[in-house]
Structure 1
Amino acid sequence: MDPLEDVLDLLETRSHLSTSLIAGGEWAVRFDAPLDVKFNAVRRGHCWLEVEGHGAPIELAAGDCYLLTRPRPFTLRSSPKAPEVDARTVFARAEHGVARTGTGDDVLLIGGRFTFSEPGQELLLASLPPVIHLPAGTAHAETVEWALTVIERELLLRPVASDLVAEHLAMVMLVYVLRLHLAREPQSVSGWLAGMTDPAVAAALTSLHEEPARPWTVAELARAGAVSRSTLAARFKQTVGQGPLEYLTQWRIHLASQKLRKSNDTIGSIARITGYGSESAMSTAFKRVTGVSPSVYRRRHADSVDA
């Protein structure tokens, strides 16, 4: 796996499709701050997106899509002066998976949300800007458009297993949106995701993710990126925000956290899997990063699942 695959898998990323929205005339729908990463795509017509704290409204045209990566209230509207209606009121009247507002059917939006396991989700979300807008016609955006077209067809025609197909396609769309955003606006991301835009740093990150238990040195990682040790150290720090071995420690702790939550493996076994020579070595690193020992962490998450 590459780092993006690793992180999406570690976070147990899931897609969930929501009720579609048809609108026409003068209209505006105000939404509460989403708890998860929200996405919408305009399949026909055009409208405006306003996100609290983001600045100027974003004009959305047919084929555009966007991701909201922070829990901020937002409004979709036909024009700046359209009277607002609470989304809960609009969607409470939905029928057959479609909500309606305004007069007519000039605009069709489909959407949903992406959920992640709570521990560690900042691995992805902290690297992203609050709003990612992907306009139609963007270079290499054809696959996103294809996925959205098939999702719309699945939702409208409802063949067998339509929800499953549509949700898997939404995951494809997420990966492509992140890829295209990285290619188009690399300066707007931070952390390990920003490192993926630098070939030498990306090679080092891939090596770390392929063999997290290996006792890596900066010199070995530099050879993977075909640069000098000092060059890799400087570029890794500049893009990712920490040194390669600091990053490796945090990634190992994320892997160990998942094992503690999801398996019955002993702490000593998890220590060996994640590259620590002993249980005490992992416990020391784990407590330094998370603030608690592995045993306390496992007990807390076991208690929360029971509750």
Structure 2
Amino acid sequence: MDVLSDVISTMRIGVPHSSRTRHVGPWRDQFPAAPGAGFHIVLAGSCLLIPDNGAPLTLRVGDVAFLGRGIGHALTAVPGETDAETVLLCGAYQLDPSRAHPLLEGLPDVLHLPARLGHDASVRATVELLASELERDLPGSSSTVVALLDVLLLLILRTWLGETSTLTTGWAAALQDPGIAAALRAMHEDIARPWTIPELATVAGMSRATLARRFTALVERAPLAYLTWWRLTTAARLLRDSDATLAVIAHQVGYSSEYAFAAAFKRQHNLAPGRYRATTSPHEQSVRDFSLRSG
């Protein structure tokens, strides 16, 4: 699994939701701050997105606004354009804050992909399919909408990563660096392997010193420290979402014994694995659904 897909699958919980709404005349939708992430895409007309803390942003046809940290905001008619029809495609995702990844923490509060940037062929095709499924409500639409929402989330983030290719620091830069990206991909694809710095340096095609220096500068963790953190973050997901025993999970994430795994897990999460599982059983989190209006 590639790094971006792995990050999203580990953080995502619950079922995403979406809706297609139409506005004419003066209107305003208020969205309180809440855990999770969401998006607004303008299918027709225009609107203003007003963050609780930040400057208003005008959205035109084809624009994508992604809010990765669930900040409070409002959508309103554009002054002077209240007689025009506005059609919006909105969606919401539940993300587990206990498994937050720095890749998403590096996102701006409002990620704006103007139509000229955000609508490559894949994004445009996915948006059109999603809007069509929501409008027609055909047999199988429930499953199709969920699948398309998952695809759209990955495409939005992938587009953003592509548009930030000139950055020289942070996760966007790490995934654009061929050597560091190769090392990250190797760790994510084989999390249980007892990786060493020489092995990762070979994968990255650079010296051990260069790998350690560049990886730490971009990822803000040394290579093996990141591997340990990601193993235990993945273990948290497995404890919550599966019935696997602690011994099985320990083996899956690269620990030779249940004892070693439990000790490392408690250091990172401040709870023993069994206690963590008992207090984080699967449930629908209370998250503000960006696809529903609050009035």
Distance 1:31 1:107 in 2: 18
TM-score (norm 2): 0.85
Q: Which has the higher contact order (CA 8 A, sep 6+)?
A: 2
Q: Which of 263, 284, 290 is residue 242 of structure 2 equivalent to?
A: 263
Task: Give 1:237's aligned amino acid.
Answer: T
For residues 211 and 268 of structure 2, what CA distance do their matches in structure 1 show?
24
Q: Letter of the aligned partner of 1:9 in structure 2?
A: S
In the alignment, the residues of structure 2 paired with residue 16 and residue 189 of structure 1 have an alpha-carbon distance, to the nearest angstrom, of 33
Q: 1:218 aligned to 2:207?
A: no
Q: TM-score, normalised by structure 1?
A: 0.82
Name the residue aligned to 1:176.
Answer: 155
Q: How does 1:178-197 map onto structure 2 within 5 Å?
A: 178-186=157-165, 192=171, 194-197=173-176
8 Å CA contact 1:22–1:105 kept in 2: the answer is: no
Q: Say whether residues 1:76 and 2:55 are aligned partners.
A: no
Separation in 1, partners of 2:147, 2:122: 14
SS at match of 1:269: helix
How far the C-alpha of 1:14 sits from its partner, in A, is 5.5
* Matched residue type, 2:251: R
Q: Does 1:63 align with 2:42?
A: no
Structure 1 match to 2:98: 119
CA RMSD between the two structures: 2.7
Contact 1:126 1:190 in 2 (8 A): no
Q: 2: distance between equivalents of 1:111 and 1:188?
A: 29
Structure 1 residues 13 and 3: alpha-carbon distance in aligned structure 2, compared to 1, 3 A threshold = farther
User: How much does 1:167 deviate?
Assistant: 2.5
Contact 1:13 1:115 in 2 (8 A): yes
Superposed, which structure 2 residues align to 1:195-274 within 5 Å? 195-274=174-253
Greater Cα shift, 43-52 or 294-303: 294-303
1:165 aligns with 2:164: no
User: Measured at CA, do residues 38 and 304 of structure 1 come closer, stay the same or move farther in structure 2, by a change above 3 Å?
Assistant: closer
1:285 and 2:284 aligned: no
Q: How many residues align?
A: 284
Give the match's secondary structure for 1:30. Answer: strand
Aligned to 2:254: 275
Structure 1, residues 199-233: CA drift from partner, whole Å, max 9, x if none?
Answer: 11110001101111111111211111111111111
Partner of 2:278: 299
- Which SS does the other structure have where 2:193 is aligned? coil
CA displacement 1:226-262 (0-9 Å, x = unmatched): 1111111111111111111000001111122223223
Which protein has the larger Cα radius of gyration, Structure 1 or Structure 2?
Answer: 1
Shift of 1:163: 2.8
Gaps of 5+ in 1: 83-101
Aligned partners of 2:240 and 2:282 also within 8 Å = no
Deviates more, 1:136-145 or 1:108-117: 136-145
Give deviations 1:70-109, integer Å, cap 9, x for gaps. Answer: 2322122233599xxxxxxxxxxxxxxxxxxx6x552110
Q: C-alpha distance in 1, partners of 2:68/2:215?
A: 25
Equivalent in the alignment of 1:86: none
CA distance, structure 2, for counterparts of residue 279 and residue 147 of structure 1: 43
Kindly provide the amino acid, as one letter, of the partner of residue 69 in structure 2: R
Mapped partners of 1:131, 1:204: distance in 2: 30
Is 1:48–1:79's contact at 8 Å kept on the other side of the alignment? yes
